[in-house]
């Protein structure tokens, strides 16, 4: 049945080539290249490039693993049952590199590490599907046309591969952006669980990133990571000891990382590991102490699969400035008369600006994206005078801009409005989000995307 189907496809292709843009094959055998996977920014592109390649009998194809970190195989089943990646025998080649193959029996390259190649000469016409046993949705086809018959040109096939790559990269970018959103669920004890993704994917690509990479929660809240991938396992690991390797001496997973370690509650100390999170499975952890905690999936370190959980003191107001937590070590943002008050200096620095005391004007001067000319005179107001980008900050409710323990505070709503930005308030999470067209200051030190 498989042979008949292959011959039918071949007959159809020959008829199409008679009408389409093709080139007449040389009598000398040609050499072709197929990329087994590609690497994006934190994305493994799990496809063959080109997905379908057209060659002539006697031509040679070199399959090269083009991924940055992921191993792959090139496996032609030729009517055999699918191979299990759990069987070590299937991870080794069953034929030597450079083999001549007529399509009649199983051909398996074994594991190709990134950058490694395997060459096959195809001696018989037909349509030969193949796949990666480690990533079963990663498939391709080699269509072998009888010697002397026309096939698509090298340029045409390269253009097809590039269009395929462009499409998958666009899909992965769209999914990555969509995955920055997360759900928040209220638990029975009143705390919150933030549900985020540890990786994601679709047919043709795998996103090996924590999404979002930075999350701002409160003491007592939990994070639940779901591996939204078809087949790639992930881990969530905090405080990995420097002398503990994720891989053993043979390149396999260190057994110490396979089961969960550290319990369901984390106070920021000690080694904590989720254990293996299989595809579409979840792992939940409660954070009991305020702080900033970095974690990582050590299987995908090279893919930037890292994250940060920032934990605010219980019942405090959380502020996000352009998606990043506003953090400082004195009186934190607080709510008063339906307005959120925050320290002026760290707010300015978070936007790449600075705030300084101007003795001549007896005012705090904030410059973001400036400097800006100062006003020639200031209106008399109760409390502290504040100038932001050349304009005096004035609002008609109490408290106005003021000093507390040597630090200056003002209403975030009013500061953001004066800067021409916008803000939102999330009652459930007690989070005030600021959106302004200024880059975050280097002092924030974190890449993030925010809900």
Residue among 109, 98, 141, 108 nearest 2 (CA): 141
In the chain, residues under CATH classification 2.60.40.420 are 2-168, 179-315
Bond into 407 cis (ω within 30): no
The predicted pLDDT at position 20 comes to 44
In the prediction, which pLDDT does 382 show? 81
Listed residue (258, 257, 186, 180) closest to 218, CA to CA? 186
How much is the pTM?
Answer: 0.83
SS (H, E, C) the chain: CHHHHHHHHHHHHHHHHHHCCCECCCCCCCEEEEEEEEECCCEEEEEEECCEEEEECCCEEEEEECCCCCCECCEECCCCCCCCCCCHHHHCCCCCCCEEECCCCCEECCCECCCCEEEEEECCCEEEEEEECCEEEEEEEEEEECCCCCECCHHHHHHHHHHHHHHHHHHHHHHHHHCCCCEEEECCCCCEEEEEEEEEEECCEEEEEEECCEEEEECCCEEEEEEECCCCCECCEECCCCCCCCECCCCCECHHHCCCECCCEECCCCCEECCCECCCCEEEEEECCCEEEEEECHHHHHHCCEEEEEEECCCCCEEEECCEECCCCCCCCEEECCEEEEEHHHHHHHCCCEEEEECCCCEEEEECCCCCCCCCCCCCCCCCEEEECCEECCCCCCCCCEEECCEEEEEHHHHHHHCCCEEEEECCCCEEEEECCCCCCHHHCCCCCCC
Task: Look at residue 26 in the predicted model and tell me its pLDDT.
Answer: 55
The CATH number of the structural domain formed by 179-315 is 2.60.40.420
The pLDDT of residue 396 is: 83
What does the pLDDT profile of the chain (451 residues) look like in tens digits? 444 444 444 444 444 444 344 555 456 899 999 999 999 889 999 999 999 999 999 999 999 999 998 899 999 999 999 999 989 999 999 999 999 999 999 999 999 999 999 999 999 999 999 999 999 999 999 999 999 999 999 999 999 999 999 999 999 999 999 999 999 999 999 999 999 999 999 889 999 999 999 999 999 999 999 999 988 899 999 999 999 998 887 777 889 999 999 999 999 999 999 999 999 999 999 999 999 999 999 989 877 899 999 999 999 999 999 999 999 988 899 999 899 999 999 999 999 999 999 999 999 999 999 899 999 889 988 889 999 999 999 998 889 999 999 999 999 999 999 999 999 999 999 999 999 986 544 333 333 333 3
Scanning the structure block, which residue is given the tokens 């549900």?
195
- 270 dihedral zone (left: phi>0; alpha: psi -120 to 50; beta): left
Q: Using CA atoms, how far apart are residues 215 and 324, in angstroms rounded to an integer? A: 9
Count Cα atoms within 13 angstroms, Cβ side, for 68. Answer: 17
* CB-neighbour burial class of residue 155 (10 A; exposed 0-12, middle 13-18, buried 19+): exposed
The total of other beta-carbon atoms located within 10 Å of residue 193's CB is: 17
* Domain 2-168: CATH superfamily, name plus number: Cupredoxins -  blue copper proteins (2.60.40.420)
């Amino acid at each position: 049945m498989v042979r008949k189907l292959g011959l039918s496809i071949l007959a159809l292709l020959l008829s199409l080539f008679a009408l389409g843009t093709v080139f007449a094959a040389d009598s000398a055998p040609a050499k072709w290249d197929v990329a087994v996977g590609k690497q994006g920014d934190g994305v493994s592109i799990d496809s063959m490039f080109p997905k379908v390649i057209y060659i002539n009998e006697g031509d040679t194809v070199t399959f090269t693993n083009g991924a940055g970190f992921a191993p792959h195989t090139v496996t032609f089943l030729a009517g055999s049952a699918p191979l299990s990646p759990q069987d070590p025998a299937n991870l080794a080649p069953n034929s030597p590199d450079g083999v001549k193959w007529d399509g009649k029996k199983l051909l398996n390259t074994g594991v190709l590490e990134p950058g490694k190649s395997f060459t096959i000469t195809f001696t018989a016409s037909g349509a030969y599907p193949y796949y990666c046993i480690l990533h079963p949705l990663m498939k391709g086809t080699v269509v072998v046309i009888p010697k002397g018959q026309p096939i698509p040109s090298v340029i045409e096939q390269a253009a097809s591969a590039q269009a395929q790559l462009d499409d998958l990269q666009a899909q992965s970018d769209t999914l990555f952006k969509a995955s920055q959103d997360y759900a928040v669920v209220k638990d029975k004890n009143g705390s919150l669980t933030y549900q985020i993704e540890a990786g994601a994917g679709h047919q043709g690509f795998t996103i090996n990133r924590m999404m979002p990479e930075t999350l701002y929660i409160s003491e007592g809240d939990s994070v639940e990571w779901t591996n939204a991938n078809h087949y790639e396992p992930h881990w969530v690991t905090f405080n990995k000891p420097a002398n503990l390797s994720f891989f053993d001496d043979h390149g396999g997973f260190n057994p110490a990382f396979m089961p969960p370690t550290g319990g369901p509650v984390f106070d920021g100390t000690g080694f904590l590991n989720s254990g293996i999170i299989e595809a579409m499975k979840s792992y939940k952890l409660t954070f009991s102490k305020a702080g900033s905690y970095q974690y990582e999936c050590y299987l995908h370190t090279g893919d930037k699969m890292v994250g940060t959980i920032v934990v605010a003191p219980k019942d405090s107001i959380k502020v996000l400035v352009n998606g990043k937590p506003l953090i400082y070590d004195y009186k934190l943002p607080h709510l008063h008369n339906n307005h959120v008050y925050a320290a002026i200096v760290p707010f300015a620095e978070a936007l790449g600006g600075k705030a300084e005391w101007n003795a001549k004007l007896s005012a705090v001067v904030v410059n973001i994206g400036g400097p800006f000319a100062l006003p020639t005179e200031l209106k008399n107001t109760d409390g502290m005078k504040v100038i932001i980008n050349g304009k005096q900050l004035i609002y008609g409710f109490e408290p106005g801009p003021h000093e507390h323990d040597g630090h200056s505070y003002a209403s975030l709503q009013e500061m953001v409005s004066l800067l021409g930005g916008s803000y939102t308030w999330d009652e459930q999470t007690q989070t005030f989000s600021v959106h302004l067209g200024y880059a975050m200051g280097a002092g924030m030190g974190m890449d993030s995307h925010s809900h």
